[in-house]
Amino acid sequence: MRRPTIADIAERVGVSKGAVSFALNGRPGVGEATRARILQVAKEMNWRPHSAARALGGARAEAVGLVIARPASTLGVEPFFAQLLSGLQAGLSARSVALHLLIVEDAEAEMEVYREWASAHRVDGFVMVDLKVRDPRIEVLEELGAPAVVLGGPGRHGSLSSVWADDREAMLSVLEYLAALGHRRIAHVAGLPAFRHTQRRIRALRDSARRLELVDAVSVPTDFSDAEGAAATRTLLSRPRRPTAIVYDSDVMALAGLGVAGEMGVRVPDEVSIVAFDDSVLTRIAHPSITALSRDTFAFGRQLAEVMLQVIDEPGLRRDVKTATPRLVVRESTAAPGAWQDD
Amino acid sequence: MRRPTIADIAERVGVSKGAVSFALNGRPGVGEATRARILQVAKEMNWRPHSAARALGGARAEAVGLVIARPASTLGVEPFFAQLLSGLQAGLSARSVALHLLIVEDAEAEMEVYREWASAHRVDGFVMVDLKVRDPRIEVLEELGAPAVVLGGPGRHGSLSSVWADDREAMLSVLEYLAALGHRRIAHVAGLPAFRHTQRRIRALRDSARRLELVDAVSVPTDFSDAEGAAATRTLLSRPRRPTAIVYDSDVMALAGLGVAGEMGVRVPDEVSIVAFDDSVLTRIAHPSITALSRDTFAFGRQLAEVMLQVIDEPGLRRDVKTATPRLVVRESTAAPGAWQDD
DNA sequence: TCCCGCAACTAGAACGCTTTAGTACCCAAG
DNA sequence: CTTGGGTACTAAAGCGTTCTAGTTGCGGGA
């Protein structure tokens, strides 16, 4: 048999569709007795709302959109991303809001999908990740007027809300720790330079070079892949005056770097110290275990969900949430540089 | 201004809504010249389809549902799951199909969501994971008549399609390898006994005990968490006649087990060999690296997507795809048992 | 010349729900 | 006894699209 509609219920109870709609949505305009009868019949007939029909009328979609312009494989490879996703889902599912996920080729396609989903009321809001320098997606989301939360910041995300961590401060804490150990030649294997947080880390290194008396403070950009992380490490360690410490923008790259050091016979931490942005099981079980900037990524994702839900509830709202700054967890991969390395 | 509808376009071009609909969907029933004009105007007015309205008419939702009854944290912790998810996404996004993802408390809630999404045309089909013994979800999906693909098998998934790996054969390959090395006391730290694939592995061990002359072949059930994996390992290694080899049902548990062995001063692989079902970066970088059953999980997810799309295209279809059996990758965690361990 | 068939197009119902405007009724105040 | 206002409801108009059942006009064969 066909799925029951409110018209069927109305007919059976002997009232109008309107009355049924009121009753089912707990709205005034229908007596208690009638309401009870309607609810009863609806249950008997096993009725369920048809979200598409509701959406046509402009109701909530009970879903949040996440469009990612990255190769799909990163989803599974980067612990950071996987953790973030699960935190996000955890936060959303507490309110039975689904995550509408799509991976696309590039930012162009991503914006097109924003337009489609927004104009079709397919989702109630968007979570935007991988904030770039002068990101055109911001404008699109603003123009669409859809609730949106940007992962990353602060600043430069227009009227959109955001959730961010202080990358600058985190980078400084690493540099100060390394400088205190006596390191003066510190290299930075950065992520994609187009990302705002990458820029912020690069700038933090450059800015503190003088204060910390670093004689060499270079940032090498990569695409965040383990391959480029390994290549950058190889280049750095092949220099006549190689760095005594390398800071990696992700745990995956740090691990790759550690592997390269092993291959090249450069001992860690005796000859080179290694620090990773982002902590995960990878840094913990590596051998030697890797000193890393640790944060609760799952909680980060949950905060993202929380802000998203708030912004959906109150469309005018603009929140700007700074999450806890990642703190350094010292493990076996860092030590004072050997004496022979001093200038 | 209001978002443009086909009625607006129709008015502007001076044709009926029907004609516009035909033109926009590349259907016959409208002349070339008119079609071109309609497309032109639609572009000018920046028109976009409204999926909710389409869904009302019974069109595709261009989304696949995935409902998971697990704690959200597993999503990020289990490399297998993360990889699978990205493979699935990769396969779907090639056809611009989104993944509608929701995490729920339990199987009851999961089935309720199936009903809701199906009756609301919210998704075109479902991917079901974590197939259990006598799984009630199968019936629900069959009854709903929604296209669905089950991860796991073979058999016992009724009329639904499935994608599966041969767990039995995989387990046998591990056991034969260990037996060939000389192991006779082999323990198995299993996953959730409610899962079909867990059962299959347990049975494989039991069945081959006699043939391989195992004097001790016990399976210890766990919930797949690293905590229970560690606990089970502790119990096993505390026995007066402890096993000389332990097979773990996941890489996460194997890693936990390796940690416990370290704590207890039991040397790996000299005193106990360790094998993991599921390969990932975890097993590769552990110290010692862990012998594991390896498969291309990303490809597995992509196959899942492929079958899903096929079943959506051809609702009557029932496919049963066996994926490549995981093959054993021998690393440092396995060796012949020490002589003193022989009976 | 007439009719047939086909392509091009129109009108409007249908999809399931929400919402608004309106109606019927009752009770209380004047 | 009338009026005013509140409650309980009904009828029907959307929401944006697709689909079905026409209608028109035109070219070609008898």
CA of A37 and C1' of C30: distance in angstroms? Answer: 39
Sheet holding B98-103, edge to edge: A320-322, A161-164, A148-151, A125-128, A63-68, A98-103, B98-103, B63-68, B125-128, B148-151, B161-164, B320-322
pLDDT band at A343 (very low <50, low <70, confident <90, very high): very low
Average pLDDT score, chain A: 91
pLDDT at B343 over 60: no
Q: Does A90 touch chain B (CB under 8 A)?
A: yes
**One domain for residues A337 and A203:** yes
Check B100 against A63: CB less than 8 A apart: yes
The nearest CA of chain B is from the CA of A135 a distance in Å of 22
A97 to chain B: closest CA residue? B102
pLDDT band at B339 (very low <50, low <70, confident <90, very high): low
Q: What is the mean pLDDT of residues A237-251?
A: 95
The nearest CA of chain B is from the CA of A210 a distance in Å of 37
Check A287 against B287: CB less than 8 A apart: yes
Residue pLDDT, tens place only, B188-225: 999 999 999 999 999 999 999 999 999 989 999 999 88
The nearest CA of chain B is from the CA of A126 a distance in Å of 14
Most A-contacting residue of B67, B70, B74, B103 (CB-CB within 10 A), to test interface = B103
**One domain for residues B150 and B263:** no
Number of domains in chain B: 3
The nearest CA of chain A is from the CA of B211 a distance in Å of 37
Does a structural domain hold residue B57? no
Q: Does B70 touch chain A (CB under 8 A)?
A: no
Which pLDDT belongs to residue A119? 82
B283 to chain A: closest CA residue? A285
- The closest nt to B52, taking CA to C1', is D16
CB B277 within 8 A of CB B170: yes
| Domain range for A245 | 167-294+328-341
Helices A167-181 and A196-208 cross at an angle (nearest 10°) of 40
CB A93 within 8 A of CB A62: no
**One domain for residues A190 and A306:** no
Q: Does B116 touch chain A (CB under 8 A)?
A: yes
Which single residue has its CA nearest the C1' atom of nucleotide C20?
A18
Does a structural domain hold residue A54? no
**One domain for residues A157 and A218:** no
Per DSSP, what are the bridge partners of residue A320? A162
Residue pLDDT, tens place only, B286-320: 889 999 999 999 999 999 999 999 999 887 889 99
Residue pLDDT, tens place only, A48-84: 888 888 888 878 888 999 999 988 777 777 888 888 9
Per DSSP, what are the bridge partners of residue B277? B293
Average pLDDT score, chain B: 91
**One domain for residues B336 and B205:** yes
Which pLDDT belongs to residue A342? 43
Q: Distance between CA atoms of A223 and A227, rounded to whole angstroms?
A: 9
Residue pLDDT, tens place only, A303-331: 999 999 999 988 888 999 999 999 999 99
Residue pLDDT, tens place only, A126-162: 999 999 999 999 999 998 888 999 998 787 788 899 9
Q: Distance between CA atoms of A11 and A25, rounded to whole angstroms?
A: 18
Q: Is the peptide bond before B136 cis (omega within 30 degrees of 0)?
A: no
Q: In the 8-state DSSP scheme, what is residue B132? A: B
Footprint of strand C on the protein (CB under 7 A): A 2-3, 5-7, 17-18, 20-22, 24-25, 27, 29, 47-50, 53-54, 56-59; B 14-19, 22, 28-35, 53, 56-57
Strand C nucleotides where any atom sits below 7 Å of a protein CB: 7-21
Tokens standing for residue B326: 């995981």
Backbone angles phi, psi at B51, to 5 degrees: -65, -30
Q: Does B330 touch chain A (CB under 8 A)?
A: no
**One domain for residues B182 and B276:** yes
Q: Does A96 touch chain B (CB under 8 A)?
A: yes
Does a structural domain hold residue A57? no
**One domain for residues B268 and B303:** no
The one-letter amino acid code at B182 reads: G
Q: At A280, is the secondary structure helix, strand, or coil?
A: coil
**One domain for residues A285 and A308:** no
Could you say which of A79, A90, A102 has the minimum Cβ distance to residue B93? Answer: A102
Q: Does A286 touch chain B (CB under 8 A)?
A: yes
The one-letter amino acid code at A100 reads: H
pLDDT at B173 over 90: yes
pLDDT at A293 over 60: yes
Check which CATH number belongs to the domain holding A11 and give it. 1.10.260.40
Share of chain B above pLDDT 90, in %: 65
For chain A, the maximum distance between any two Cα atoms, rounded to a whole number of angstroms, is: 93
Tell me the C-alpha to C-alpha distance, in Å, between residue A231 and each of A223, A267, B100, B171.
11, 18, 37, 38
Does a structural domain hold residue A105? yes
The nearest CA of chain A is from the CA of B206 a distance in Å of 33
Check which CATH number belongs to the domain holding B230 and give it. 3.40.50.2300
What one-character-per-residue DSSP string does A149-198 give? EEES-SS-STTSEEEE--HHHHHHHHHHHHHHHT--EEEEE---TTBHHH
Q: Does B1 touch chain A (CB under 8 A)?
A: no
CA angle B339, B340, B343 (to 5 degrees): 90
CA of A25 and C1' of C24: distance in angstroms? Answer: 24
- Contacting residues of A for B83, CB less than 8 Å apart: 76-77
Which pLDDT belongs to residue A335? 96
Could you say which of B73, B76, B285 has the minimum Cβ distance to residue A282? Answer: B285
CB A294 within 8 A of CB A329: yes
Q: Does B63 touch chain A (CB under 8 A)?
A: yes
Does a structural domain hold residue A185? yes
**One domain for residues B237 and B121:** no
A101 to chain B: closest CA residue? B99
Spell B145-175 as b/e; 16+ CB within 10 A means b: ebbbbbbbbeeebeebbbbbbbbbebbbbbb
Which pLDDT belongs to residue A182? 95
The nearest CA of chain A is from the CA of B212 a distance in Å of 34
Which pLDDT belongs to residue A1? 56
Residues 238-257 of A with CB under 8 A from B: 255
CA of A25 and C1' of D8: distance in angstroms? Answer: 16
Q: Does residue A258 lie within 7 Å of nucleic acid chain D, judged by its CB? A: no
**One domain for residues A111 and A152:** yes
Q: What is the mean pLDDT of residues A170-187?
A: 96
**One domain for residues A309 and A336:** no
Tokens standing for residue A110: 């991503």
CB B318 within 8 A of CB B161: yes
Which single residue has its CA nearest the C1' atom of nucleotide C14?
B57
Provide CB contacts within 8 A for B184, sequence distance 6+.
B213, B214, B215, B216, B244, B337, B342, B343
Q: Does residue B25 lie within 7 Å of nucleic acid chain D, judged by its CB? A: yes
Does a structural domain hold residue A283? yes
Q: In the 8-state DSSP scheme, what is residue A132? A: B
Provide CB contacts within 8 A for B13, sequence distance 6+.
B19, B20, B34, B37, B38, B41
A99 to chain B: closest CA residue? B101
pLDDT at B342 over 50: no
Spell B223-235 as b/e; 16+ CB within 10 A means b: ebbbebbbbbbee
Which pLDDT belongs to residue B96? 86
Does a structural domain hold residue B257? yes
CB B64 within 8 A of CB B98: yes
**One domain for residues A224 and A151:** no
Does a structural domain hold residue B40? yes
- Contacting residues of B for A101, CB less than 8 Å apart: 89, 98-101
Instruction: Show the 3-state SS of A218-269.
Output: EEECCCCCHHHHHHHHHHHHHCCCCCCEEEECCHHHHHHHHHHHHHHCCCCC
Residue pLDDT, tens place only, A195-236: 999 999 999 999 999 999 999 899 999 998 889 999 999 999
Tell me the C-alpha to C-alpha distance, in Å, between residue A299 and each of A311, A316, B41, B257.
18, 25, 47, 27
Residue pLDDT, tens place only, B259-282: 999 999 999 999 999 999 999 888
Q: Does B298 touch chain A (CB under 8 A)?
A: yes
